[in-house]
Amino acid sequence: MLQQAKIDEFKSRFRGEVVAPGDAGYDAARKVYNAMIDRSPGLIARCADVADVIEAVRFGRESDVLVAVRGGGHNGGGLGVCDGGLVIDLSRLNGVRVDPAARTARVEGGCTWGDVDHATHAFGMATPGGMISTTGVGGLTLGGGIGYLTRKYGLTIDNVLEADMVLADGRFVTVGPQQNEDLYWAIRGGGGNFGIVTSFLFRLHPVDTVNAGPMFWPMEQATEVMQFYREFIVNAPEELNGFFAFMTVPPVPIFPEELHMKQVCGIVWCHTGTASQLEEAFKPVRKFRPPIFEFVGAMPHPVLQSMFDGLLPPGLQWYWKADFFNTLSDRAITAHAEHGARMPTPLSTMHLYPINGAAHRVGSADTAFSYRDADFAEVIGGIDPDPANKDRIIGWARAYWEATHPFGAGGAYVNFVMDEGQETVRASYRGNYSRLAAIKATYDPTNFFKVNQNIQPASARSAGA
Ligand SMILES: Cc1cc2nc3c(=O)[nH]c(=O)nc-3n(C[C@H](O)[C@H](O)[C@H](O)COP(=O)(O)OP(=O)(O)OC[C@H]3O[C@@H](n4cnc5c(N)ncnc54)[C@H](O)[C@@H]3O)c2cc1C
């Protein structure tokens, strides 16, 4: 329980900002990106530095309350906030230091991808990250990290060289290939289960201007486009990435008026080579069938990374369902085409991300992220600004998922699901779950960090907790 005397004592040791119910900024501070999540923490501690994180962990433990850790606050299931208890908010830890000679970036645990791309682009470099610039580096990285650079440079976790962490007992450790190797393995896919990452050290790559953007085809051609895509993208040069999407064309000037509000299927491309290399790679695309809209061209990498920010501001209702796919069978494609054409609201969508190429060169047991053999990560997003449409978007996403799940690989990317519970978590880690549970038992035996896709400590699990 949070006691006022303890809160006062905590405040005297804490440099950042402490926000409590009744304070002027409380309502804004408790909000997360998904407006479907409405939780009221007992206290929000906005850390100013690593010392604050250590203090906040100690305070949470001594007070014996539920503790949530917030990075960018983008998690679909709202795992960056809790009801009652303490939120340890990292958003002020947003510094990035690029070492151009070593080609690395030290990124603090509360950064967004916009912070990282801005800082690294100045040096003509990047690391694989998320596709919306407001998404948090912390949650995205710890779950795996799928982005435009994944086929060429791997998942985000494949580029984590080292991380600084505060553990459940308040200890500060650095994890990497030569120190605390078990934790280094676990945080590359195992989420926020093992501690609070106060900074990551990322490997950078020479990515500056990219040739990128969307191509659309009519919704009625979804089956043919998906059949083409499933073969093409797994064999394309790794410089080329493209995710498949169902979407409704927004009524904005960049799109021709006759397409406004039309449901389409499309591919959003990103090529890290030259325009002529892209055209070479595109030869099969050009032969396939002409798109009804194309906006592929040269742009700075951060422009691509924030291209869809305006479409998806904070405060929308989101409901997520997900699966990995080893391949896309014709029957799966039939189900996709049927449910894609039933999108209930203009922002609702389904994305299929390729996770082959460099991501496949890491073994299933080399990091906690198990599905290295899957070719695609699917996310179905029921999205709308109006809370009155909540049931419609949930109903559509569930029905879509029920229809395609039987063709899936068994688990789902943990960052693309709501808070679905143990069955989904175990299916998503498969053979890695028991090792993760053993590491959890070593570093967090009381399950202090439990507001996440939770891995239960091995002993508690065997005791039936
Ligand atoms: C619009 C949008 C676009 C997205 N695009 C992509 C994408 O391109 N690729 C992709 O892979 N995913 C993507 N995602 C999914 C995203 O990876 C997850 O939502 C992720 O959980 C967001 O991380 P966060 O830090 O913003 O979230 P939060 O809600 O703050 O946190 C999520 C979880 O991570 C933990 N956590 C966060 N930071 C830390 C830290 N520093 N130390 C320890 N634990 C921490 C939290 O405790 C919580 O359990 C997207 C999500 C949205 C909403």
Q: How far is the CA of 112 from the centre of ligand 1 (A)?
A: 9
Contact between residue 382 and residue 351 where contact means Cβ atoms under 8 Å apart: no
Q: How far is the CA of 138 from the centre of ligand 1 (A)?
A: 6
Look at residue 464 and tell me whether its pLDDT is greater than 90: no
**Averaged pLDDT for residues 229-257:** 96
Q: Give the residue, 438 or 464, on which the prediction is more confident.
A: 438
pLDDT band at 461; cut points 50, 70, 90: very low
Q: Alpha-carbon distance 141 to 220, whole Å?
A: 36
Query: Is beta strand 67-70 parallel, antiparallel or unpaired with respect to 86-89?
Result: parallel
Look at residue 449 and tell me whether its pLDDT is greater than 60: yes
Look at residue 442 and tell me whether its pLDDT is greater than 60: yes
pLDDT in tens, 335-387: 999 999 999 999 999 999 999 999 999 999 999 999 999 999 999 999 999 99
Look at residue 222 and tell me whether its pLDDT is greater than 90: yes
Closest atom of ligand 1 to CA, residue 155: 11
| Residue identifier of the C-alpha nearest atom 51 of ligand 1 | 74
Share of residues in the chain with pLDDT > 90 (%): 97
Q: How far is the CA of 141 from the centre of ligand 1 (A)?
A: 7
**Averaged pLDDT for residues 418-426:** 95
**Averaged pLDDT for residues 225-251:** 98
Look at residue 232 and tell me whether its pLDDT is greater than 70: yes
**What pLDDT is attached to residue 460?**
53
**What pLDDT is attached to residue 465?**
40
Contact between residue 226 and residue 217 where contact means Cβ atoms under 8 Å apart: no
Tokens 């460099």 — which residue? Answer: 358
Q: How far is the CA of 73 from the centre of ligand 1 (A)?
A: 7
Q: How far is the CA of 250 from the centre of ligand 1 (A)?
A: 25
Closest atom of ligand 1 to CA, residue 144: 11
Q: Which residues line ligand 1 (CB under 6 A)?
A: 32-33, 69-76, 79-80, 90, 109, 130-132, 135-136, 138-140, 142-143, 145-147, 191-192, 196-197, 312, 415, 451-452
